[in-house]
């Protein structure tokens, strides 16, 4: 009982009576009566012809309510635990509310913990579903679908409006970086009455949300809609200013009480093998960013050397970014696509070493993989492959690469002799993750870095080595999920607000 009350206190459920919390579910036997059924994406043969969102534009209310009814009266909602939802979404509550057709109340509960459910409902891999108690022996509740349906209905019905700040404190905060962590921090601090200015080095606001995630997975109108809400609520945005280069932190500190660094982990992991200098080898984020920018600027994806049209494309590295590269290359008309994975193919079901409620490390077909199967007839992923060298033509352009199969024994990578192979490729995309933030800003501010090159600050405190400078998100914790960025953005806002109430003055 003490543990349960602790969970209630952490998630905000203590605002309800204990009786209401223990008996919150309206359809107690729903998980026995209804099967899991996710909302279908748009048909593959249609969606690969454009850059519109893969999601259906209409949510079937009856279907969503039925899926909400599957949420169990589980006592301790592990979906809200450390392994589940980083922002402590009140998942059982809004599942119950939509089951009872109380959509506006569900939206209020959703926004209580999550500033941007329209983002997470689209791009979050849903660790909450991996920790769903029902998922111990049945398919988990479709939490992600339900979250998106609630917020989409909220916008459709006009329930989501700019926040009206009643009192301004006179304190000023500069947020450097406009990704999900920066936007969440700006939103929370603005609601506290502080004046917030967000600085972005690119030409559009959104950071990873704008240029790091392709339009078919997160329509940029969805991002701009939320940014416009923040503007109408009083947050100021300044684009095309690269703090640390165009403007120093010392200059900013003359005008602001606090600086918050939320610049993301943008230093990509490279692959320094022979002929890396060949033309046609690009970092995945360069490819995705330029194509999204071209789509927004002129209405079509980039048709320069970064286009995959008519080319054999190899994507090295998996994850969401690798999948996004596959989806983009397909829409550009790639001749073929192969995706190299260094690790082995995951099991179809949880391994014994990967028990519930940990995130299930299982084989999945993401949207890009499914599209490749439709176009080319097979999953594009090839496992246990390591690139040994790139192959450069006489004109300096990449024409292929050579690989070798590998295995892992007792944690050691072993090359398998005789498994060497040459692959044709005119476009190679490196999607191997990110190692750290870029360091020109931290050098300018003279803040301490951690062992991995991230801005050093304790989780929950977010204060850097320099007084009045805080940091949050991927630049502090390392490459992570959008939902973790929102968690840290909200957390740093709380700490900055405490700081401003206690110490800061112009």
Say if residue 47's pLDDT is above 70: yes
* Distance between CA atoms of residues 96 and 410, nearest Å: 47
Q: Mean of the pLDDT values across residues 220-248?
A: 98
And the tokens for 485? Answer: 């960025």
Do 239 and 276 fall within a single domain?
no
Asked whether residue 184 is domain-assigned, the answer is: yes
Listed residue (25, 37, 31, 39) closest to 145, CA to CA:
39
Do 196 and 233 fall within a single domain?
yes
Do 414 and 447 fall within a single domain?
no
Asked whether residue 178 is domain-assigned, the answer is: yes
Asked whether residue 166 is domain-assigned, the answer is: no
Domain count, the chain: 3
Q: What CATH number does the domain containing 219 carry?
A: 3.50.50.60
Do 132 and 94 fall within a single domain?
yes
Q: Which residues contact 220 (CB under 8 A, 6 or more apart)?
A: 204, 206, 210, 292, 296
Listed residue (473, 267, 433, 266) closest to 343, CA to CA:
433
Q: Residue 294: which domain range?
A: 270-432
Of 156, 190, 217, the residue at which a domain comes to its end is 156
Asked whether residue 164 is domain-assigned, the answer is: no
Do 402 and 288 fall within a single domain?
yes
Asked whether residue 202 is domain-assigned, the answer is: yes
Asked whether residue 319 is domain-assigned, the answer is: yes
Of 125, 156, 187, the residue at which a domain comes to its end is 156
Asked whether residue 383 is domain-assigned, the answer is: yes
Question: What is the distance between the terminal CA atoms of the chain, rounded to a whole angstrom?
Answer: 48
Do 54 and 152 fall within a single domain?
yes
- For residue 27, the SS3 value is coil
Asked whether residue 46 is domain-assigned, the answer is: yes
Q: Mean of the pLDDT values across residues 59-88?
A: 93
Do 19 and 150 fall within a single domain?
yes
Do 459 and 427 fall within a single domain?
no
User: Which pLDDT value is given to residue 130?
Assistant: 95
Q: What CATH number does the domain containing 84 carry?
A: 1.10.1060.10
Of 432, 457, 488, the residue at which a domain comes to its end is 432
Do 416 and 473 fall within a single domain?
no
* Distance between CA atoms of residues 427 and 296, nearest Å: 23
- For residue 476, the SS3 value is helix
Q: Mean of the pLDDT values across residues 265-270?
A: 97
pLDDT tens digits, 286-312: 999 999 999 999 887 666 668 999 999
- Chain centroid offset of residue 94 CA: 22
* Distance between CA atoms of residues 341 and 435, nearest Å: 18
Do 186 and 65 fall within a single domain?
no
Secondary structure E strands in 296-426: 312-316, 336-340, 381-382, 385-392, 398-409, 412-415, 421-424
**Geometric angle at alpha carbon 229, from 228 and 235, rounded to 5°:** 85
Do 261 and 281 fall within a single domain?
no
Listed residue (271, 287, 306) closest to 211, CA to CA:
287
Residue 97 and residue 105 in contact, taking contact as beta carbons nearer than 8 Å: yes
pLDDT tens digits, 362-393: 999 999 999 999 999 999 999 999 999 999 99
Q: Which residues contact 326 (CB under 8 A, 6 or more apart)?
A: 315, 337, 339, 368, 369, 371, 372, 380
Do 232 and 198 fall within a single domain?
yes
Q: Mean of the pLDDT values across residues 220-238?
A: 98
Say if residue 256's pLDDT is above 70: yes
pTM for the full predicted model: 0.93
* Distance between CA atoms of residues 23 and 297, nearest Å: 52
Listed residue (281, 282, 284, 329) closest to 307, CA to CA:
329
pLDDT tens digits, 162-210: 999 999 999 999 999 999 999 999 999 999 999 999 999 999 999 999 9
And the tokens for 249? Answer: 């932190």
């Amino acid at each position: 009982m003490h543990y349960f009350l602790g969970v209630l206190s952490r998630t905000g459920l203590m605002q309800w009576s204990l009786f209401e919390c223990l008996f919150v579910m309206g359809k107690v036997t729903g998980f026995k009566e209804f099967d899991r059924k996710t909302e279908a994406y748009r048909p593959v043969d249609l969606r690969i012809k454009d850059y519109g969102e893969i999601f259906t534009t209409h949510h079937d209310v009856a279907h969503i309510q039925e899926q909400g009814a599957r949420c169990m009266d589980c006592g301790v909602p592990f979906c809200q635990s450390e392994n589940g939802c980083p922002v402590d979404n009140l998942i059982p509550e809004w599942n119950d509310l939509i089951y009872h057709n109380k959509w506006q109340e569900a939206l209020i509960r959703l926004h209580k913990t999550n500033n941007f459910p329209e983002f997470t409902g689209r791009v979050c891999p849903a660790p909450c579903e991996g920790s769903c108690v029902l998922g111990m022996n049945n398919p988990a509740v479709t939490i992600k679908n339900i979250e998106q349906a609630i917020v989409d209905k909220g916008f459709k019905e006009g329930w989501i409006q700019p926040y009206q700040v009643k009192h301004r404190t006179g304190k000023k905060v500069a947020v450097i970086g406009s990704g999900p962590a920066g936007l969440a921090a700006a939103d929370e601090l603005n609601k506290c009455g502080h004046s917030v200015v967000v600085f972005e080095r690119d030409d559009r606001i959104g950071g990873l949300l704008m240029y790091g995630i392709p339009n078919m997975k997160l329509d940029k109108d969805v991002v701009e809609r939320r940014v416009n809400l923040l503007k109408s609520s009083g947050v100021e945005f300044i684009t095309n200013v690269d703090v640390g280069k165009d403007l120093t932190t010392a200059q900013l500190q003359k005008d602001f009480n606090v600086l918050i660094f939320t610049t993301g982990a943008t230093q990509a992991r490279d692959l320094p093998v022979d002929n890396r200098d060949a033309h046609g080898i690009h970092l995945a984020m360069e490819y995705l960013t330029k194509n999204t920018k071209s789509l927004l600027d002129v209405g079509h994806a980039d048709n320069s050397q970064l286009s995959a049209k008519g080319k054999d494309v190899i994507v090295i590295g998996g994850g969401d970014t690798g999948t996004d590269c596959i989806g983009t290359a397909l829409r550009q008309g790639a001749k073929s696509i192969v995706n190299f994975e260094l690790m082995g193919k995951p099991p179809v079901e949880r391994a014994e070493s990967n028990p519930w409620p940990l995130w299930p490390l299982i084989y999945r077909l993401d949207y890009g993989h499914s599209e490749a199967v439709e176009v080319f007839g097979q999953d594009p992923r090839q496992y246990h492959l390591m690139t040994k060298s790139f192959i450069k033509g006489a004109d300096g352009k990449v024409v292929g690469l050579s690989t070798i199969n590998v295995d892992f024994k007792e944690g050691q990578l072993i090359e398998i002799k005789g498994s060497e192979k040459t692959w044709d490729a005119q476009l190679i995309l490196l999607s191997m993750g990110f190692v750290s933030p870029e360091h020109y800003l931290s050098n300018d501010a003279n803040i301490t870095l951690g062992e991995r090159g991230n801005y050093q600050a304790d989780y929950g405190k977010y204060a850097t080595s320099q007084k009045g400078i805080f940091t949050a998100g991927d630049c502090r914790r390392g490459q992570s999920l959008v939902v973790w960025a929102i968690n840290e953005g909200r957390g740093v806002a709380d700490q900055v607000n405490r700081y401003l109430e206690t110490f800061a003055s112009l």
